[in-house]
Amino acid sequence: MTELDAPGTNPFDVAREAAAHIAEATGVAKHDVALVLGSGWGGAADLLGETVAEIPSHEIPGFSAPAVAGHVATTRSIRINGSDKHALVLGSRTHLYEGKGVRRVVHGVRTAAATGAKAVILTNGCGGLNLDWAPGSPVLISDHINLTATSPLEGATFVDLTDLYSSRLRDLAREVDPELPEGVYAQFRGPHYETPAEVRMAGRMGADLVGMSTTLEAIAARHAGLEVLGISLVTNLAAGISPVPLSHEEVIEAGQAAGPRISALLAKIVERI
């Protein structure tokens, strides 16, 4: 098994190795769409269709067990309801704050592309700056601000991000729920929550949502040729917007409360894609 971070290793070779492992373990030669399910979104996998196979993620080259409560530890191949298409549900998302390196953060989406997927849905739980979005509200990501001070692209790799979050896929999502709002997502490094001043800064930059994931994966997905749909679940009002201190338990509780509704929404979007 090739080590993702070993000197001289090509991360795309490891992604192809991971894709070959998934194909062998699932018996599915090609996946059509991939999903990364963040806090609150895990239940969606059960509504997508028939689970063909489930693999402990740490057994797949380049993946490791999740480090965050509320994130699943398995990768699933699912035959999508009413079709012969397959979805790859990627478990064990790696966050930048875990210190495992950017390659590991984006390995999932690169592997998805190597399995044959043409689109990826990136979800997360996040803090909201808009008082109209109560905890439990799903919001389409229209654009992002990367405040991590890093990129998943190495060397002179220039990628246009003008339509990074696909307008076509956002339109499909609004066919399912015409009331879905959209906003700009800002990613901080974490793992600490943002200060009120940092939230005000992000808001002045144009952000509506703040969190600790997604932007690096989206960039890598675009580079790998995937069409990207991003959806945030507002699990809490951001620091300085919220009158109470923030906690991860609050994030999990809000995700659990909204779970059935947002899972049904996501399943219907996947069927349309």
**Among 17, 194, 217, 227, which one carries the catalytic annotation?**
194
Q: Which residues are annotated as a binding site for a purine D-ribonucleoside?
A: 194, 236
Asked if pLDDT for residue 90 goes beyond 80, the answer is yes
Kindly list the structural domains of the chain, giving each domain's residue range(s) and its CATH number in brackets, ordered by start.
Answer: 11-271 (3.40.50.1580)
Structure token pair of residue 38: 């963040």
Amino acid (1-letter code) at residue 263: S
pLDDT of 241: 79
Cα separation, 53 vs 55, in Å, equals 7
- For residue 1, count CB atoms less than 10 angstroms from its CB and return exposed for 0-12, middle for 13-18, buried for 19 or more: exposed
DSSP for 93-120, please give it. Answer: PPPGGGSS-HHHHHHHHHHHHHTT-SEE
Q: What mean pLDDT value characterizes the chain?
A: 91
Residue 193 is given by DSSP the state P
pLDDT of 113: 98
Sign, CA dihedral 45-59-215-222, equals negative
Cα separation, 46 vs 27, in Å, equals 19
- pTM for the whole structure: 0.93
Cα separation, 94 vs 82, in Å, equals 32
Answer yes or no: 194 catalytic: yes
Cα separation, 223 vs 219, in Å, equals 6
Asked if pLDDT for residue 176 goes beyond 90, the answer is yes
Asked if pLDDT for residue 246 goes beyond 70, the answer is no
Q: Which residues are annotated as a binding site for phosphate?
A: 39, 71, 93-95, 125, 213
